[in-house]
Amino acid sequence: MRSVHDIGGLDFGAVPLEDHEREVWEKRTNGISLALRQKKLATLDEQRRHVECLGESYHKHGYFARQLLAWAQIVIDR
């Protein structure tokens, strides 16, 4: 059975390659991620596991929103 993020081999169209400026909240989310890992308060594996457990809401959110939801759940769990 595939996890919600496992789309290998499925037709989802072309991947947009153009870069874009990050919004302030996206930059802060990235900073939170780095800080939590540097301080050894959480691991990247935990973050990935929580992102993968988002279920159908995985597709409702963009990359940084999924990361933020994962970190929030890690903090709640602890």
pLDDT per position as a tens digit, 6-15: 767 777 778 7
Report residue 78's pLDDT band, with 50, 70 and 90 as the boundaries. confident
Distance linking the first and last C-alpha atoms of the chain: 29
Q: Say if residues 68 and 29 touch (Cβ distance below 8 Å).
A: yes
| Alpha-carbon span 40 to 6, nearest angstrom | 28
Tokens 């990359």 belong to residue: 63
According to the model, what pLDDT value does residue 3 have?
72
Q: Find, among 61, 63, 76, 73, the residue nearest to 29 by Cα.
A: 63
- Answer whether residue 5 shows pLDDT above 70: no
pLDDT per position as a tens digit, 24-75: 999 999 998 899 899 998 898 999 999 988 888 888 999 999 999 998 998 8
